[in-house]
Amino acid sequence: MVISWMDNVKPFLIAVQIENEIPDETFDNYLALLPEDHRNSVMKYKTKDDRDRALLGALLIRFHVSKLCSIPLQAIVIHKNKYGKPYLPMFPDIHFNLSHSGNWVVFIIGEKAVGVDAEQIKEIDISAAASFFSSTELQLLSSYEGHRKLECFYDLWTLKESYIKALGEGLSIPLDSFWIELEPFITVHTRKGNQNWHFKQYALGDAYKLSVCSAHSSLPEKVTRMTSNELLDQVSLHVSAQIASGHKL
């Protein structure tokens, strides 16, 4: 099914801030809105925090696709390519991606390939991650000290991750086989030459970095933010409206 009305619609970016742990009863009620395979995917996580993040991510996907396509949440079929990237076989013109870190779950959707990566900034041994960067990127990192070096690390890391996720080929692409240039504007370089991808970074909080990569030249101007409770409320209202209109969940 081709959704022609999505043509030239630029990506939509939303960040959900997790306010608190989702109560067990509430969690179970929303989990029941998912088909069995997606419920199993959420429940495979060992910690409560990870299961909460996975549930919110699943709801973000299904809520927005349901609104776009006017179909029930459970009717949405999600497959994964051989590298593990999810896609919508019923709606090949819809592309989406998820990322979560700390108390944020971030979602992007659009009509061309997209990737998003959010990372909480933590003190790390940057030298131990040297194998993930090209010589050009390592040279840039070496020009900084202290917290600015750490920020540069997360700038590069999230941009590289967003690019790989947009490509949808997972770790089959060695992280040191391409490099990100930050100035004068963000570009990606590969051994095959420059690639026609578009990047943008967004403010998510002092302790986070958020980067987006898209095949679409027009990227969201800002992040749409909401709390986890607001998302749950919106999903509940949407499901109630669908039931009232005669949809079977």
pLDDT tens for 179-225 read 999 999 999 998 766 678 999 999 998 899 999 999 988 899 999 99
* For residue 184, cis peptide bond before it (omega within 30 degrees of 0): yes
Do 178 and 60 share a structural domain?
no
Do 165 and 246 share a structural domain?
no
Measure the CA–CA gap between 158 and 106, rounded to whole angstroms: 13
Q: For 17-41, what is each residue's pLDDT tens digit?
A: 999 999 999 999 999 999 999 999 9
Measure the CA–CA gap between 31 and 152, rounded to whole angstroms: 38
* For residue 72, cis peptide bond before it (omega within 30 degrees of 0): no
Measure the CA–CA gap between 228 and 57, rounded to whole angstroms: 10
Total domain count, the chain: 2
Q: What is the pLDDT of residue 144?
A: 93
Q: Is the dihedral of CA 11, 12, 17, 21 positive or negative?
A: negative
Query: What is the CB neighbour count within 10 angstroms for residue 42?
Result: 21
Do 137 and 209 share a structural domain?
yes
Do 107 and 21 share a structural domain?
yes
Inside any domain, residue 2? no
Do 56 and 87 share a structural domain?
yes
Task: Give the single-character DSSP code of 21.
Answer: P
Do 122 and 106 share a structural domain?
no
Domain containing 67 equals 11-112+218-249
Q: What is the pLDDT of residue 249?
A: 55
Inside any domain, residue 83? yes
Q: Where are the beta strands (DSSP E) in 3-154?
A: 12-17, 79-80, 86-87, 95-101, 104-110, 114-120
Write down the pTM of the prediction: 0.91
Q: For 102-114, what is each residue's pLDDT tens digit?
A: 999 999 999 999 9
Measure the CA–CA gap between 35 and 66, rounded to whole angstroms: 14
Q: Is the dihedral of CA 65, 69, 73, 79 positive or negative?
A: negative
Q: What is the pLDDT of residue 128?
A: 84
Gyration radius of the chain over CA positions: 19
Do 91 and 208 share a structural domain?
no
Q: Which two tokens stand for residue 119?
A: 């990372």
Please compute the mean of the pLDDT values over residues 220-246 and round it to a whole number. 93
Query: What is the CB neighbour count within 10 angstroms for residue 226?
Result: 14
Do 136 and 67 share a structural domain?
no
Q: What is the pLDDT of residue 10?
A: 66
The pLDDT-based confidence of 4 (bands split at 50, 70, 90) is very low
Do 229 and 156 share a structural domain?
no
Q: What is the pLDDT of residue 194?
A: 63
Please compute the mean of the pLDDT values over residues 117-122 and round it to a whole number. 96
The bridge status of strand 79-80 relative to strand 224-227 is unpaired
Inside any domain, residue 3? no
Inside any domain, residue 152? yes
Inside any domain, residue 82? yes
Inside any domain, residue 204? yes
Do 183 and 105 share a structural domain?
no
Please compute the mean of the pLDDT values over residues 115-125 and round it to a whole number. 95
**Residue, of 129 and 63, whose pLDDT is higher:** 63
CATH of the domain at 182: 3.90.470.20
Inside any domain, residue 1? no
Q: For 37-86, what is each residue's pLDDT tens digit?
A: 999 999 999 999 999 999 999 999 999 999 999 899 989 999 999 998 99
Measure the CA–CA gap between 4 and 197, rounded to whole angstroms: 22
